[in-house]
């Protein structure tokens, strides 16, 4: 290949060569019956070219074989590669992650000489039946730019990675075997417009296929459903473009448009008869009034079929195209975004395309899994951040019911000196419009698409205004989103929006959103990114949604983001882990900032997704008078009633179901509420120190396409106002405890237990119950936790104060014997090296003859300069590894924290120690259970340790040390110990979302203040007494 001063891939004025005009996505068929199957292989005019191609990787275009596209060039010795795929995922080059910066010098439109280049070749067969047809070669996605040749002749050039490119190769092919050659460039001038927060991955990563088209054809169509002012009756309004590729006019053609319902019954039709098709493009419009069609929404995604059938003068079908459509409207009215006349709440997520093994080449099954998980977790909307995904994803959103903000493949975040640089440069206007035009044209027939988005984090300039004008002229039926401009109006209310129809902000605080909601403005507000779901979190979802529901103009938001973009790797021991930025030697990189999703890379839900499901559940129950069982059911759906749900109730105590029944649901329209009576009966014998819980569950009454009958949609729980007349039972004190000193040890003994204290270090070193060792070390005050991702900023402040390196000085160790107990008092100063601040901590142990130990801990901060907040306050200890079976009463079954706990109802739960661990891709604090009344750790025989909160505690248990959780960068670096680290905590700091967003709300912050808490510890055997029963007894 000769070196040139000007090349196609560094010329922002050359967007393509020979690429066909934009059109909507569809497959042509020879008849209506085949078209209605929507199976591409049922069209004899479709040939998929996915599969194994020959492949050559070069470090730059100049080092790639110049003539590889020629027929005589021998590629037999080349490697082979799957298409679709990303070549970095196949071992060529390396994945590179950056969030903001470009990984090359910023000098648009020029790109580096080091421009990895992939050369692809394969043969394909053209049957005799195709000769005489127009033959089109279509690429659904190639990153980032490419040339294509057929049989040694250039077919064209294109760019824009996440958009299709079609080439007319009719004149280049012959009957029989043919060859297609593609040269793909990792970097192009288009890369300056594709600086999204994701992995840089290259290659032919979506479908490649051939289409044979009749010389007279349906080239494009645009379906619009116009609802009347009552949102009842509609007009099916369809623009159609017919192409005549012949040299003369064709007379007597007929185009029929038929509307069928979901079952295939004909609703109505229109025809344009005796059409004369002149050479070139021919446009016509067809309209069909439809009386009260079923409306499409995310809650009721009813789809009709529109079939276009083109016939010749003899009545023979030339070509047929089918399209699913839904009747729905989108409008801006009275400051609200209305769908079918209703102001919906977007319970959304931002979704990138990623697969842990295949990169951006996401299989259909994975797309479907995403949709099913979203529906099962009450999510109703997706922002296609930050580019249009595979077209098959839109079909799924239409079918299953997901609202879409369809986002242009555009981001220029890396222009650090002037982010507006390209966006306000008229020389780049054509490139900007090309990107939105191709997206709109491809996706315009999907009812799921509610808003077009002009891209992400590209500053603001005249090119956005030009994009907006183009989109509104082409499609006035939808609204346009662009956070980059609406944030300007957010800062200055006098600013008039030029390029968007809704307000949109990122990571705005709850307090600010509440202020915004109180204002009267002419645009609705949607948070296009919030609740950054990186690692353990996000916190504060409850408060965000309380605020959204409090103000009609706040129409929800999209959690950043759906998925951790981890790449599956194996270490030298064969242990798997997920890689992130920097793990491939990629520089510069943004580390694990790409690991920020509600689901793990393998699509397993994180605790954050479970919490989100609960917060956005579509049915809410409020107490009215619990003593009489009276509650209020609120329907938070936007369109449908609750007839698809079945409600049940149960009365539970101590993990046992005492009563249960079916709760009839009255007719409650969307947005309405009604009171019902739950017919529970007050138990005849109210147990002392026992909580009675009324649980109400809403499940699917029948199978749906996204979940089976019985799937839990929503639930509520209420503590009933029941109290016992009897006092709790007291623990029998039949035998006294005794104590003696042995050197530096204090030994406290009872009939069936012994404890040892180190009087020098002031710690309990041994606890034996019935011959069973219950303790290895501790308990000791602890203020630290392995920092979570949402503490990536505050952790530096904490470490500056040395909270992670506290030292324990024992100032006094005293013990005394009383009539009923042995009392041990330890006074300690806990402080960091270097600094003068610290804590005066006092431990008071009261050890009873029953074997019960009540431990009171108090702390008083000292010093003139104190940290504002702390990670945690609690006790840390280690226990033998065989005490691995945990049971507790409190919130569960999953992990919970003070600002992320709503998804975990109160109950009695059981788990082994490994099940208490949450495998965050980047190890960190995890696995806490909150508002716990008691927790028991026992061996296989039921012998172990019981901890009772006074009145409650948090607990977590791990086979990994806290230090290991902090130091490890990947899960394979975690080392299981031969002991369990048990944390019995008083309080934790909230999670917040400060990896990218606000920290914990004030009410969830753990401030450096005087504290005091207590916990009761005792050895026990489940074969003698249940931990629930034992926890209720008092000293």
Positions marked active-site: 457, 529
Beta strands in 710-835 (DSSP E): 712-719, 738-742, 745-749, 753-758, 763-769, 772-773, 777-782, 807-817, 821-831
Strand partners, 185: 117, 145
> What are the residues facing 257 on neighbouring strands?
270, 308
Task: Kindly tell me the burial class for residue 362, based on how many C-beta atoms sit within 10 Å of its own C-beta (0-12, 13-18, 19 or more).
Answer: buried
d(CA 391, CA 387): 12
The answer to whether the CB of 401 falls within 8 A of the CB of 375 is yes
- Comparing CA positions, the residue from 964, 965, 897, 893 lying closest to residue 925 is 965
Closest CA to 355 of 206, 163, 195, 565: 565
Residue 342 and residue 639 in contact, taking contact as beta carbons nearer than 8 Å: yes
Separation of alpha carbons 775 and 592, rounded Å: 37
What does residue 141 show for φ and ψ, rounded to 5 degrees? -170, 125
Is residue 962 within 8 A of residue 803, CB to CB? The reply is no
Structure tokens at 657: 């179901």
Non-local (6+) Cβ contacts of 695 within 8 A are 649, 650, 651, 652, 715, 716, 717, 905
Q: CA-to-CA distance for 84 and 122, rounded, in angstroms?
A: 13
**Contact of 892 with 907, CB cutoff 8 Å:** yes
Place of tokens 């025809």: 271
Cis? peptide before 893, omega within 30° of 0:
yes
Beta-strand ranges (E) seen in 261-370 are 266-277, 280-290, 304-311, 317-325, 330-333, 336-339, 342-343, 346-350
Parallel/antiparallel/unpaired status of strands 712-719 and 346-350: unpaired
What phi and psi, each to the nearest 5 degrees, are found at residue 62?
A: -70, -20
Separation in Å, CA 676 to CA 322, 696, 722: 47, 12, 20
Centroid of chain to Cα 530: 11
Structure tokens at 608: 């954050």
DSSP code string of 82-106 = EES--GGGGTSS--EEESSS-SS--
Of 164, 856, 9, 101, the C-alpha closest to 417 is 101
H runs (alpha helix) in 939-1024: 962-967
CB 163 within 8 A of CB 138: no
Kindly report the number of other CB atoms within 10 A of residue 378's CB atom.
18
Question: What is the rounded CA–CA span in Å between residue 431 and residue 158?
Answer: 12
User: First vs last Cα of the chain: how many Å apart?
Assistant: 88
């Amino acid at each position: 290949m000769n070196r040139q001063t000007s090349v196609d891939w560094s010329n922002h004025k050359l967007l393509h060569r020979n690429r066909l005009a934009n059109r909507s996505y569809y497959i042509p068929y020879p008849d209506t019956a085949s078209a209605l199957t929507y199976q591409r292989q049922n069209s004899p005019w479709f040939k998929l070219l996915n599969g194994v191609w020959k492949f050559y990787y070069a470090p730059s275009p100049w080092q790639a074989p110049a003539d590889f596209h020629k027929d005589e060039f021998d590629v037999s010795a080349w490697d082979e590669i799957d298409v679709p795929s990303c070549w970095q995922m196949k071992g060529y080059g390396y994945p590179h992650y950056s969030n903001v910066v470009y990984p090359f010098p910023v000098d648009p439109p020029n790109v580096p000489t080091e421009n990895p280049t992939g050369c692809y070749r394969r043969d394909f067969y053209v049957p005799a039946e195709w000769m005489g047809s127009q033959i089109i070669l279509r690429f659904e996605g190639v990153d980032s730019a490419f040339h294509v040749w057929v049989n040694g002749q250039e077919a064209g050039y294109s760019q824009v990675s996440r958009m299709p490119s079609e080439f007319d190769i009719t004149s280049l092919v012959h009957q029989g075997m043919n060859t297609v050659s593609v040269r793909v460039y990792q970097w192009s001038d288009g890369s300056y417009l594709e600086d999204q927060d994701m992995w840089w991955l290259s290659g032919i990563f979506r479908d490649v296929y051939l289409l044979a088209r009749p010389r007279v054809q349906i080239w494009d169509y645009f379906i619009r459903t116009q609802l009347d002012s009552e949102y009842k009756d509609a007009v099916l309004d369809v623009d159609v473009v017919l192409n005549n590729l012949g040299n003369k006019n064709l007379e007597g053609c007929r185009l029929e448009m038929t509307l069928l319902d979901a079952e295939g019954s004909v609703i109505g039709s229109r025809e344009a008869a005796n059409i004369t098709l002149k050479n070139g493009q021919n446009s016509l419009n067809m309209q069909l009034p439809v009386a009260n069609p079923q409306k499409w929404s995310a809650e009721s995604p009813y789809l009709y079929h529109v079939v276009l059938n083109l016939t010749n003068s003899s009545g023979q079908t030339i070509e047929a195209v089918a399209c699913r459509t839904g009747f729905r409207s989108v409008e801006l009215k009275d400051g609200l975004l209305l769908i079918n006349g209703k102001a919906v709440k977007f319970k959304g997520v931002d979704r990138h395309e990623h697969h842990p093994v295949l990169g951006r080449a996401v299989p259909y099954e994975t797309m479907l899994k995403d949709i099913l998980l979203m529906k099962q977790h009450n999510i109703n909307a997706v922002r296609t951040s930050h580019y249009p995904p595979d077209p098959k994803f839109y079909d799924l959103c239409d079918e299953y019911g997901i609202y879409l903000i369809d986002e242009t493949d555009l981001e220029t975040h890396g222009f650090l000196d002037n982010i507006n640089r390209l966006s306000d440069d008229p020389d780049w206007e054509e490139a900007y419009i090309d990107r939105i035009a191709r997206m709109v044209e491809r996706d315009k027939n999907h009812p799921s698409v509610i808003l077009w988005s002009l891209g992400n984090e590209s500053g603001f300039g005249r090119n956005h205004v030009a994009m907006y004008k183009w989109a509104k002229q082409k499609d006035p039926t939808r609204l346009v989103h662009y956070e980059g401009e609406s944030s300007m109006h957010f800062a200055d209310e006098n600013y008039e929006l030029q390029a968007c129809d809704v307000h949109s902000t990122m990571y705005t605080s709850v307090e600010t959103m509440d202020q915004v909601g109180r204002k009267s403005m002419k645009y609705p507000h949607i948070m296009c990114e919030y609740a950054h779901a990186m690692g353990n979190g996000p916190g504060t979802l409850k408060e965000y949604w309380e605020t959204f529901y409090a103000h009609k103009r706040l129409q929800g938001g999209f959690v950043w983001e759906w998925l951790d973009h981890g790449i599956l790797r194996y270490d030298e021991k064969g242990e798997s882990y997920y890689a992130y930025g920097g793990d491939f030697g990629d520089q510069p990189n943004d580390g694990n900032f790409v690991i920020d999703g509600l689901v793990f890379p393998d699509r397993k839900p994180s605790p954050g997704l479970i919490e989100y499901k609960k917060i956005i559940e579509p049915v809410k129950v409020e107490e009215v008078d619990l003593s009489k069982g009276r509650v209020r059911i609120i329907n938070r759906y936007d369109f449908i009633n609750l007839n698809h749900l079945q409600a049940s109730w149960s009365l539970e105590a101590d993990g046992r179901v005492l009563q249960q029944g079916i709760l009839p649901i009255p007719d409650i329209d969307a947005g309405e509420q009604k009171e019902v009576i739950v017919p529970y009966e007050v138990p005849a014998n109210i147990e002392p120190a026992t909580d009675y819980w009324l649980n109400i569950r809403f499940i699917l009454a029948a199978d749906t396409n996204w979940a089976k009958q019985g799937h839990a949609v929503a639930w509520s729980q209420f503590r009933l106002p029941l109290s016992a007349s009897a006092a709790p039972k007291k623990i029998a004190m039949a035998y006294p405890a005794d104590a003696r000193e042995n050197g530096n040890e204090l030994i406290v003994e009872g009939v069936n237990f012994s404890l040892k204290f180190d009087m020098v270090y002031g710690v309990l070193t041994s606890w034996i119950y019935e011959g069973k060792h219950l303790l290895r070390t501790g308990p000791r005050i602890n203020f630290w936790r392995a920092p979570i991702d949402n503490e990536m900023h505050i952790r530096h402040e904490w470490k500056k104060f040395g909270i992670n390196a506290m030292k324990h000085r024992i100032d006094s160790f005293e013990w005394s014997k009383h009539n009923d107990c042995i009392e041990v008092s330890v006074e300690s100063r806990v402080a960091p090296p270097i600094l003068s601040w610290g804590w005066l901590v006092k431990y008071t142990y009261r050890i009873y003859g029953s074997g019960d130990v009540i431990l009171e801990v108090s702390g008083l901060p000292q010093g003139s300069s104190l940290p504002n907040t702390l990670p945690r306050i609690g006790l840390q200890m280690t226990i033998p590894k065989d005490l691995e079976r945990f049971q507790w009463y409190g919130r569960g079954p999953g992990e919970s924290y003070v600002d992320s706990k709503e998804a975990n109802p109160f109950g009695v739960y059981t788990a082994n120690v490994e099940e208490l661990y949450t495998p965050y891709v980047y190890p960190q604090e995890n696995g806490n259970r909150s508002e716990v009344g008691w927790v028991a750790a026992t061996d296989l025989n039921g012998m172990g340790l019981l901890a009772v909160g006074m009145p409650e505690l948090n607990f977590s248990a791990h086979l990994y040390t806290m230090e290991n959780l902090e130091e490890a960068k990947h899960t394979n670096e975690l080392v299981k110990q031969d002991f369990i680290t048990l944390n019995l905590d008083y309080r934790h700091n909230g999670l917040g979302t400060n990896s990218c967003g606000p920290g914990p709300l004030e009410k969830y912050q753990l401030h450096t203040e005087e504290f005091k808490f207590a916990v009761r510890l005792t050895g026990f055997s489940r074969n003698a007494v249940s931990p629930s029963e034992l926890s209720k007894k008092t000293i």
